[in-house]
Amino acid sequence: MFRRFENLVDPFAEPPAGTPPATLWAYLRTQLVPFRRHLIWMAVVGAVVALIEMGLIFYSGRVVNLITDAEPAAFWAEHGLELTLAALFILFLRPLIMGLNHLLLEQTLAGNMQEQVRWRAHRHLLGQSAGFFQNDFAGRLTNRVMQMGPAVEDSVHMFFDGIWYALTYVAGALIILYGMDWRIALPLGLWLVAYVAYSRNIARRVGAASERWSDARSLVTGRVVDAYTNIESVKLFASSGREEAYVLSAMRRLRLRFQRFLRLMTEMTFVLNVMNGFLIVGVTGAAVLLWTRGAVTVGEVAAAAALTIRLNGMSGWIMWVTIRLFEHAGVIREGLRSIARPQTVVDVPGAPALALSRGTIEFRDVHHHYGRGHGGLSGVNLRIAPGQKVGLVGRSGAGKSSLVNLLLRFRDAEQGQILIDGQDIARVTQESLRRQIGMVTQDSSLLHRSVRANILYGNPDATEDQMIAAARRAEAHDFIQTLQDRHGRTGYDAQVGERGVKLSGGQRQRIAIARVILKDAPILVLDEATSALDSEVEAAIQDTLYGVMEGKTVIAIAHRLSTIARMDRIVVLDNGRVVEDGTHDALLARRGIYAGLWARQSGGFLGMDAAE
C-alpha cells in the first residue's frame, strides 16, 4: 500500500524544457504539475478530516445535552444505537480517512516533492557553462539546491495540512456557532478579520527577513566549503587566522539576521496571545450570557467553549505555519537567484550530433572578450589540418586558454565561427562535441571516487584489461597498486579523495592521462599535460603521449617549449591574435616572438617577462 502511493508520481521524470521560472508562484506551479491529479484528493480528504475533528467537538456538546435531559435508567435505551454508531465511526472510519490523508501528504507529496525539486535544480545547473561555476561558491550553489527541496515540499505540505485544514475548521466553526446564535459567532468573525490582517503583515516581514537570513546562511556555507576545499593553501600560507576572520564576518552577519528573525517570532507570540484572550472571553462569555437568558443549552455552551479553546491552540500553530510558509518563500526566492538563471551555452533546437570524419579544425575570425570589450581573442583565423599536431605558445593572457575553451564550447564565441570538419560547433550538440575531444589540463582534478571510476570516466564501457592497459601507458599502474584508503580499499578500488587530494600532483596527472588515453578521442588537447611530473616520468609520458597522438588532431599548450618543439606547427598568440605560425626551426629563423621566448627560457620554461 505504501509503495502504491509512493509511486503515484515519478520525481525523476523528464522536467519541462527551458529555464525554471524566476518568480515564486510561477516556479511553484511548475513543481506542482506532476501532482495536479492528486492535489484535488488532498484538498477533499483534508477538508473531510477538518470537518470530522470539528464535528467531534460539536457532537460532544450534543452528548452533554443528552446526558442532561435524559433519565439515567432510560439513557441507553433511548440513545444507545446512536452512541454505538458514533463509537464505530470514531474507532474505524475516522482512522481510515485520516490514514488516507497522511498517505497522500506523506507518501505521495512529501516522499517525492523534495527530490523532484533537487533533481530538477541540479539538472539545470549541470547544464550551465563552466564560467557560471567560476563566478560563485560551489558551497553556496550546493546549499541552494539542497535547501530548495525541503522549502518547496514543506510549503505545499503545510498548506494542505495547516492552512487548508484551518480554513475548513474555522468555516465549520462559524457555521456551527451561527447555528447556535449569531451573537456567539460574531466574536469569532471579528477575531478572524484581525487574525488574517495581522498574519499578512507579520508574514510579509518574516518573508523578507527569511530571505536575508537564507542568503547569509548560504554565504557562510560557501566560505566554509571554500576554506575546506583549499585547506592546503590555507595551511601553506599560514592563513588560518585570516580564514577564521573571513568566515567569522559571515557568521556575525548570519547571527544578526537570525536575531532579527527571532524578534519577529517573539512579537508574534505576544500579539497572538492578546488576540486569543479576546477570542476566548468573547465567544465563551457570549455563550454563557445567552445560556443565562435561556437562548442556548448547556451542551451548546460546552461546544462553543471547546471550539474556542481548540482555536486558541490552533491559532498559534496556524500562525507558525503561515510564518514557515513565508520563511520558505524567502528560501525559495534566494535559491532562484541561481537556479532560475538561463543557461548561456545551449544546444540549438534539433541540433544534430557532430559527425567527425577527418578532424579538421578551423577558427574563422573568432572574437571573444568575455563581455568586457578587451582581453580574450580578437579576429583569430586558424586552420588545423586532419592529424596535424599544433603547439600553442604565448605569454600569460595571450589567449591560449580562451581558444581551447571556445573549441570545447565552455563558452560561445561572441563573433566568428569554429568549425570541425566543416560543421559549426555552435550548431551541434555539446555532448557529441566533447565526446570527440580528449583533454588533459595542467591541474587535472579527480572525482571523489575510486581510481577505477576515475579512469573509466573516459570510457565507461571499457573492459578491465583496457583500463589497466591505459594506466600502464600513462605510467600509473605501478603506483596504483600501492594505494590504500582509510577503509582498507587498495589498488584500483582505493578512493582518491575530493579532487584527488590524497594523491600527489604527478599521480593525479597520470590518472588523468590514463583517462584520456582510454577515451581515445580523435581530437586531443593538452594544456601543460606533463608540467606536474618529474623529469624521469615526464620523459616516459612524453613518449606515450606522442604515441597517443598518432592519427589524431592535436593542440598542445606548453610553457616548456622543448615539449612542443617536435610538433608539426607552432602557433604563437599575442594579445589575442595569431602573430606567428610555422615549424620550430622556421620560427627560430624568423627571429620573432617565438625565437625570443625560446632564447629567454629558464630551465626549459617560458620566461614570463620575455621581450617581444
Residue 324 confidence class, pLDDT cut points 50, 70, 90 = confident
Q: In what order do the strands lie in the sheet with 423-424?
A: 377-384, 361-368, 415-420, 423-424
**Is residue 607 predicted with pLDDT exceeding 70?**
no
Stretch 259-265: mean pLDDT: 85
Residue 531 confidence class, pLDDT cut points 50, 70, 90 = low
Q: Please report the domains of the chain, with CATH numbers, ordered by start residue.
A: 8-339 (1.20.1560.10), 443-520 (3.40.50.300)
Beta pairing class for 569-574 and 577-582: antiparallel
Lowest-confidence pick of 93-107, 181-195, 230-244, 593-607: 593-607
Which range of 58-62, 145-149, 268-272, 308-312 scores highest in mean pLDDT? It is 145-149
The candidate with the shortest Cα–Cα distance to 425, out of 343, 527, 523, 517, is 523
Stretch 238-264: mean pLDDT: 87
Q: What is the mean pLDDT of the chain?
A: 86
The model's pLDDT over 44-55, given as tens digits with 9 standing for 90+, comes to 999 999 888 878
pLDDT at 294: 84
pLDDT at 533: 62
pLDDT at 537: 66
pLDDT at 205: 84
pLDDT at 360: 94
Q: 530 and 509 in contact (C-beta within 8 Å)?
A: yes
Proportion of the chain above pLDDT 70, given as a percent: 96
Proportion of the chain above pLDDT 90, given as a percent: 34
Lowest-confidence pick of 116-120, 309-313, 578-582, 584-588: 309-313
**Is residue 362 predicted with pLDDT exceeding 80?**
yes
The pair phi, psi for residue 338, each rounded to 5°, is: -100, -45
**Length of the chain (residues):** 612
pLDDT at 519: 92
pLDDT at 331: 84
**Is residue 102 predicted with pLDDT exceeding 80?**
yes
DSSP string, 520-543: --SEEEEESTTTTS-HHHHHHHHH
pLDDT at 540: 67
pLDDT at 429: 94
**Is residue 456 predicted with pLDDT exceeding 90?**
yes
d(CA 132, CA 346): 13
Which range of 68-72, 256-260, 319-323, 424-428 scores highest in mean pLDDT? It is 424-428
**Is residue 344 predicted with pLDDT exceeding 60?**
yes
Stretch 47-64: mean pLDDT: 84
pLDDT at 374: 72
Residue that has been written with the C-alpha cell 498559534 in this structure: 316
**Is residue 603 predicted with pLDDT exceeding 60?**
no
pLDDT at 475: 87
pLDDT at 611: 37
Give whole-number Cα distances, 465 to 452, 456, 461, 477, 518, in Å: 12, 11, 12, 12, 11
pLDDT at 602: 45
d(CA 268, CA 202): 7
Non-local CB neighbours of 305 within 8 Å, separated by 6+ positions: 283, 284, 287
Look at 131 and 419; give whichever has higher pLDDT: 419
The three-point CA angle 22-24-25 to 5° equals 115
pLDDT at 572: 93
Stretch 264-289: mean pLDDT: 85
**Is residue 609 predicted with pLDDT exceeding 50?**
no
Residue 420 confidence class, pLDDT cut points 50, 70, 90 = very high
The residues that bridge with 495 in the sheet, in sequence order, are 450
Non-local CB neighbours of 339 within 8 Å, separated by 6+ positions: 20, 121, 124, 125, 144, 145, 148
pTM: 0.73
